[in-house]
A = this chain, B = another copy of it.
Amino acid sequence: MARAAAGAGARRRGAAAAGGAARGAAGAGAAAAPPTAARVFNFSAGPACMYEDVLAEAQREVLDYKGCGMSVMEMSHRGGDYSAIHDAAEADLRELMGVPEGYSVLMMQGGASLVFAGLPLNLTARADAVDYVVTGSWSKKAAQEAGKFCDTVNVVQGDNKSIPDPASWALTPGSKYVHLCDNETIQGVEFQGAPDVGGRTLCADVSSNFLSRPIDVSKYGVIYGGVQKNIGPAGLALVIVRDDLLGSPRADCPAMLDFSTLAEARSLYNTPNCWNIYMCGLVFRKLLDMGGLEAVARANAEKCAVVYGAIAESKGFYDCPVDEAVRSRMNVPFTIPSDAELEKAFISESTAAGLVNLKGHRSVGGMRASIYNAMPMQGVHDLAAFMKDFQARHQ
């Protein structure tokens, strides 16, 4: 993949364009490349980098999908061409994740934030209790939304840097479900597998580590997430729900949040986000062709080892605040403890070098490298080289 900082560098390069060493070689060779090849390494937390060949395939088909004379964006969602896209996307997702019999796959709009309301509206009555394990910003937000719908939302509070031992969780007797965020995008705290919740229904928001590794779906009642971090463009949430949890929505559950209605209609109750489902379908197919989620997980393990390794090798110049045992393979937050001003220089110089969107979330500051499935290995090597170079120049 030919990438160069030329495009972004030219636009973004500020007064202090001291960086760029790490991308110098690539930049030099890119003068003759077409504009579409001047791609940056995009460490955004979401929406985020996508596979370049997937984008290129979509580009070829924008005006005419496989000779049908129209764009996927223009197709009737009840027609044959779109139906084939829709069905293949669901089938490929099921194959990728090994979704067992007895689970429905829903393709919803509204993002995980809409599912936050959908969970209590479909799985509980107002008087029911639910448990929420809070390990960061997103699980906190999910718990707050549940509070609109359930009288008792029991929160197991973590410190946003570690995950409390599941044996210590004070879960509510008879609670309808236990909710967790499998990977906290902002704090970089990730579960390493499904915790034991004593036979309760486990619901997991996997927005930021969706399809990043094999997952034992049978251990969960609901697995859901927005696709805009690790899969495709924003505007779609995928919900994998065990069928025994369907059939009891509240009387005042909006139709578009009613898992049962969506399952019966196979996500075609109303017009779905067709383009997004098409894009995700291209990614599902690519992941299968790459060897499935085991192969993806191996690559992700290698990539995050490079970035965490760069932090460790800095001997404290860079710091990651997260407990080593639960560090995210997807989102690596780090700081420069000695000098917050240096963090600003890091952001501007890395941007100029074509390593973009490394600024940490506004709520926590610092830096964050989101290294999702589609981030090439070269991207993390370039980042590690830049970190080393930056340290040498500024320490």
A interface with B by C-beta (< 8 Å):
5, 7-8, 10-11, 35-40, 42, 44-50, 52, 55-56, 58-59, 62-64, 67-71, 73-79, 109-114, 116-117, 121, 145, 148-149, 226, 228, 232-236, 251-257, 269-276, 279, 354, 356-357, 362
Contacts and interface: CB of A to CB of B under 8 A. Distances in A.
Nearest to A278: B233
Nearest to A70: B42
A113 B270 contact: yes
Contact of A233 (B73, B109, B255): B73
Nearest to A236: B235
Contact of A234 (B233, B274, B357): B274
Nearest to A44: B76
Contacts of A149: 252
Contacts of A117: 254-257
A55 B273 CA distance: 17
- Copies of this chain, complex-wide, total 2
Across the A-B interface, give the 5 residue pairs with the lowest CB-CB distance, nearest first: A235-B273, A40-B69, A117-B254, A73-B233, A59-B62
A173 B271 CA distance: 35
Contacts of A77: 47, 234
A256 B64 contact: no
Contacts of A11: 67-68
A76 to B, nearest CB: 4
11 contacts: A8-B70, A44-B75, A49-B70, A52-B63, A73-B232, A73-B234, A114-B254, A148-B254, A233-B273, A233-B275, A234-B274
Given A67-B10, A270-B111, A270-B113, A73 B47 contact: yes
Contact of A71 (B46, B50, B251, B255): B50
Contacts of A44: 74-76, 79
A40 B253 CA distance: 40
B273 A234 contact: yes
A254 B252 contact: no
Contacts of A254: 114, 116-117, 121, 145, 148, 254, 257
B354 A39 contact: no
Given A8-B69, A234-B275, 15 more contacts: A7-B64, A7-B69, A10-B67, A37-B63, A38-B67, A40-B69, A45-B76, A50-B71, A109-B273, A110-B110, A110-B114, A111-B271, A113-B256, A117-B257, A226-B271
Contacts of A252: 148-149, 252
A176 B54 CA distance: 49
Contact of A110 (B39, B78, B121, B256): B256
Contacts of A69: 5, 7-8, 38-40, 42, 354, 356
